[in-house]
Amino acid sequence: MKPANLAFLSAFGFTAAVIVFVVLFGQTMPQTAAGMAEGYETPILALEFANSRDDLAFVRAEDAGELRAGFIAGQRLDVWFPLAYGGLMIVVLAGLALRGRPLAWVGVLAAAIAIPADWWENAVIHQILTDPEGAPAHLPALAASTFTKWFAISGAAEIFALAVLRQGWWPLAILALPCSIAWPVVAVMGAPGGLAELGSTATTLFFLTLPVTAGWALYRGRREKIA
């Protein structure tokens, strides 16, 4: 089997892993919380993008023990989740690179950076959750780790969009474009809740595009072989 086809096939395994983690997060991570910063509907996003003492109030409150425990339980899963979504990005981009789109190797690098950046973010969040009183001191590290992760994912999406556009698969490029734009905009605007939520949705769309791309690439490769 050609290396590119092997990379695309492995994308389905990574996709399955991502789906399993999403289901497990739904059972462990808090799905709602009172007192989040304006515009936020997802507690983990409100925590990741907290940039002031007030933004952290909802996890620092005396009655937020159950909320913090839920986050910590979800973090145990989040040790492995970056390998799933990062692996998905890496294998699809590597498949495109092996199909003659060498620019995609830059996307592989960006996707690989997202994995340790997510672990860094998790370590900072763990410190915030286990030491609520000292949490504000961790805000600079939280911002650095969070934006490193999201910028890496955004960069991977941008390179992916360029690679599939050059391949002639413009609908797939369009689906990835929102993710490539969203996170730089979120950063420039100061991470308002509404934009961060839209960025998360755009990222989900990008991740869904990856197995579709793998399937299309395999189908096209099979047709070209027959022809």
So what's the pLDDT on residue 62? 87
Whole-number Å distance between alpha carbons of 180 and 99:
22
What is the tens place of the pLDDT at every residue in 59-98? 999 899 999 999 999 999 999 999 999 999 999 999 999 9
pLDDT band at 222 (very low <50, low <70, confident <90, very high): confident
DSSP structure string for 1-52: --HHHHHHHHHHHHHHHHHHHHHHHHHHS-S--TTPPTT---HHHHHHT--S
So what's the pLDDT on residue 199? 97
What amino acid occupies position 125? I
Average pLDDT, whole number, for the chain?
95
pLDDT band at 224 (very low <50, low <70, confident <90, very high): low
Whole-number Å distance between alpha carbons of 183 and 195:
9
What amino acid occupies position 149? K
Rounded to two decimals, what is the model's pTM? 0.95
So what's the pLDDT on residue 34? 93
Whole-number Å distance between alpha carbons of 20 and 80:
11
- Would you give the distance in Å from CA 78 to the centre of its chain? 11
pLDDT band at 137 (very low <50, low <70, confident <90, very high): very high
125: CB partners within 8 A, 6+ apart: 47, 48, 71, 75, 142
123: CB partners within 8 A, 6+ apart: 145
Of the candidates 220, 7, 205, 211, which has an alpha carbon nearest to the alpha carbon of residue 108?
Answer: 7
Whole-number Å distance between alpha carbons of 213 and 3:
16
Which residue has tokens 């950076």?
A: 113
So what's the pLDDT on residue 221? 79
What amino acid occupies position 151? F
State the sign of the Cα–Cα–Cα–Cα dihedral 135, 137, 143, 148: negative
